[in-house]
Amino acid sequence: MTKTLIIPGRHGAEVAHWQHWWAMRDPAALIVAQEPWAADAPDAWEMQVAGAILAHPGAILVGHGYGAVVAARLLTHWPQLQVAGALLVAPADPDSGPLPEGRITVPALLVASRNDPHLPFAAAMRQARLWGAEPVDIGRAGHIDTEAGFGPWPEGMELRDGVLDGLRGGLEPGPAAPRLLRRR
C-alpha cells in the first residue's frame, strides 16, 4: 500500500480539516508535522518533509496551502527523492520568496479554486504549467479548507487515488487544459 504523506499549510490543520479526516480514515496516511507550525523557514520545512519521504520511499505527497509549496520545492529541487506522485491543493503564495519554477518529474495534480484568497486562479494555472502538473479547477471553493466548508473531502481522496491509478497505468504528467471538479 502506498503511503500518503499529508503536508499541512503554514499553521497546521485544525481537527475539522480534511487532512485530519484523511489521516483518521486512511491507515496509509500520515500528517507530516512541522516544528513549529508557524515556521517561516522553508528550509526547515523541506528537511522535515524530506525526512518523512526518506522514511517512506515511494509515497504520494498531499500538500495544502504552504504545504503544497513545500512539496513543490522538494520535487523541483530534489527530483531524485523517491516520490510516486503529488496532489498539490490550493498552493499559497509564500512570504519567503517566489514559488518554485522547475518541473515536477512525477505525476502531479494541482487543485485550484477560482476565489482562493492566497493565490489567484490565473497564477495557480501558471504554476501548474511551470510544474508540469495537471490542473484541476474546483470552482469557487475559497482556500479549500474548513473556513470554505471543507471538513471531510472525499473528492480529494478520489483525486489522490486517481494519481495512484494513473501511476499503475503509466500516466504522464501535465495536460494543458484544466480538469473541472464539482463538489458534491
CATH number of the domain residue 16 falls in:
3.40.50.1820
Q: How many helices (H) and strands (E) does the chain have?
A: 5, 7
Q: Coil, strand or helix: which one is 19?
A: helix
pLDDT 10s digit of each residue in the chain, 184 long?
899 999 998 878 788 899 999 999 999 999 998 776 555 677 888 899 999 999 999 999 999 999 999 999 999 999 999 999 999 999 998 776 788 989 999 999 999 999 999 999 999 999 999 999 999 999 999 999 999 998 889 999 999 998 887 765 554 444 445 566 655 4
Q: Is 100 exposed, middle or buried (0-12, 13-18, 19+ CB in 10 A)?
A: buried
Structural domain count, the chain = 1
83: β partners: 59
pTM listed for this prediction: 0.89
What is the Cα–Cα distance from 99 to 22, expressed in whole angstroms?
A: 26
Would the CA dihedral through 119, 120, 125, 129 be positive or negative? Answer: negative
Give me the domain span that covers residue 27: 4-180
Cell of 121: 486562479
- pLDDT tens string 102-140: 999 999 999 999 999 999 999 999 999 999 999 999 999
Give residue for cell 523541483. Answer: 76
Alpha helices in the chain (DSSP H): 18-25, 42-55, 66-77, 121-131, 154-169
What pLDDT shows up at residue 93?
Answer: 83
